[in-house]
Amino acid sequence: MTKNEAAKNEFGSLAVRQNNAVEAFISYAMETAALTEEQALTVVARYRKDKLCKFDAVSGRYLVKHGAFLDADVLRRAAGIEE
């Protein structure tokens, strides 16, 4: 295996981990705050844009800056449902 092939494999597994992290966050938001998939995806996008969460490449999860960002009412506000 060449260096380029090894790098492609590594980036491929990183992409899979990032995709799994998004899916896990969406699943959590849907269960916790009773959001639709589209609303949960909006929350993920907003949190990433505002740098409220960070992708952990080792665990393949998104980590939030503070646990309060995972509360149901905060997730609903981030989705634009509540004010």
Q: How far is CA 53 from the centre of its chain?
A: 8
Specify the pLDDT at position 12.
Answer: 74
Report d(CA 43, CA 12) in Å as an integer: 25
Specify the pLDDT at position 3.
Answer: 55
Model's pTM, two decimal places?
0.80
Specify the pLDDT at position 14.
Answer: 85
Q: How far is CA 32 from CA 6, 44, 70, in A?
A: 39, 14, 8
Specify the pLDDT at position 44.
Answer: 95
Q: How confident is the prediction along the chain (83 residues), in pLDDT tens digits per residue?
A: 555 555 556 667 888 999 999 999 999 999 999 999 999 999 999 999 999 999 998 888 999 999 999 999 999 999 988 76
